[in-house]
Amino acid sequence: MKILAFESTCDETAAAIVEDGRKILTDQISSQAELHAVYGGVVPEIASRCHVESISILAEKAVRDAGISKEDIDAVAVSYAPGLIGAVLVGVNFAKSTALALNVPLIPVHHIKGHIAANYLAYPELEPPFLCLAISGGNTLLVDVRDYTDMKIIGATRDDAAGECFDKTARVLGLPYPGGKPIDMLAQNGDDRKYSFPIAHVDGNPYDMSFSGLKTSVINLVHNAEQKGEEIDRASLAASFTRAVSESLVPRTMQAAKELGYKKVVVAGGVAANSRIRADFKAACEKNGYELFIPPLKLCGDNGAMIGAQAYYEYLAGARAGSDLNAYATMEL
Ligand code: KG4
């Protein structure tokens, strides 16, 4: 079954064709990051306009690149939540009209479920159940993936997402948006023990997380140093900050896997591209005897293929949308 899938929830417009949820026939992505970089973050109105400009071009390109004709498409899928509402609407409306024009079913896909499904593309042998840590620009969730479509959040950030924390830290260091990759590169030559940052433990749920204190701590350190005219070791700050994020994520995930009795640990989302976090997960999973699944870098960030992968399983579970499908800024998993 060939699914034409669209993604437009933030600043990447994407159109992909995925076969039977596991095989990428094409994955076309147009990133707007450079346009938003001058503002230090995503400007929603600019994002929506860019999606409008590129989505039809990407759809045509996807069909051409996959070497198929439009008649070969069995279904259309779209990421309909959560995200920037104006941006999501572009994908939803385009997907609705495409499904109508091709006379094929329309499948709604939750963006975070898509991130998790990126792993099905990278690991043909991976099947639920497993524990997944989804870490992106807008979400940080520990998810009990009981089945392809049946998931339960067991922990979440109480405030900022991990990716947001990377982006804010990058901004205070004068690094470009999005800040995750520049911080990752800067941290390579730093001493991760030079600066001490807080690792939050929140009351109530041991799997909930918090990153706002860490963010504030970095900002205060940089501003205090500026006021005193002191030089900051930026590489070591990036490395120490990343260690703090990793130590918020990895031990909690290991503890949750132990408590739920899972031997498979999956990591997903843009922050899963971080080299330190990847290495720490690898070491922790080896130590605990867990099998680790993390997508290759190109499938960590937003893409259309992950939506096409999840859409296949949503289709099998009976999910269909009509022409009344709406876009949502927030949505339960
Ligand atoms: O999953 P994603 O592309 O978009 C959302 O669905 O939110 O994630 C984007 C986030 C940004 O905050 C970006 O700075 C972060 O992923 N990111 C990274 C790295 N590459 C991207 N964070 C840490 N290290 C990286 N190498």
Render pLDDT for 204-218 as a digit per residue (tens, 0 to 9).
999 999 999 999 999
Q: Which atom of ligand 1 is nearest to the CA of 177?
A: 14
Q: Which atom of ligand 1 is nearest to the CA of 115?
A: 1
143-198 residue pLDDT tens: 999 999 999 999 999 999 999 999 999 999 999 999 999 999 999 999 999 999 99
pLDDT-derived band at 7 (thresholds 50, 70, 90) equals very high
**Mean pLDDT calculated for residue range 281-310:** 98
Closest CA to 179 of 169, 191, 189, 187: 169
Tokens of 58: 């990407």
d(CA 130, CA 285): 13
CA 322 to ligand 1 centroid distance, Å: 32
Q: What is the reported pLDDT for 24?
A: 98
Per the confidence metrics, is the pTM higher than 0.85? yes
Bridge-based pairing state of the strands 130-135 and 140-145:
antiparallel
pLDDT greater than 90 at residue 30: yes
d(CA 82, CA 188): 33
d(CA 3, CA 311): 8
pLDDT-derived band at 61 (thresholds 50, 70, 90) equals very high
Burial state string for 206-222 with b = 16 or more CB within 10 A and e = fewer than 16: ebbbbbebbbebbeebb
Q: What is the reported pLDDT for 40?
A: 86
**Cβ-Cβ contacts under 8 Å for 124 (sequence gap 6 or more):** 22
d(CA 221, CA 224): 5
State whether the beta carbon of 270 lies less than 6 angstroms from ligand 1: yes
The one-character DSSP state at 176 is P
d(CA 159, CA 22): 34
Phi and psi based region of residue 261 (left: phi greater than 0; alpha: psi -120 to 50; beta: remaining): left
CA 272 to ligand 1 centroid distance, Å: 8
State whether the beta carbon of 178 lies less than 6 angstroms from ligand 1: yes
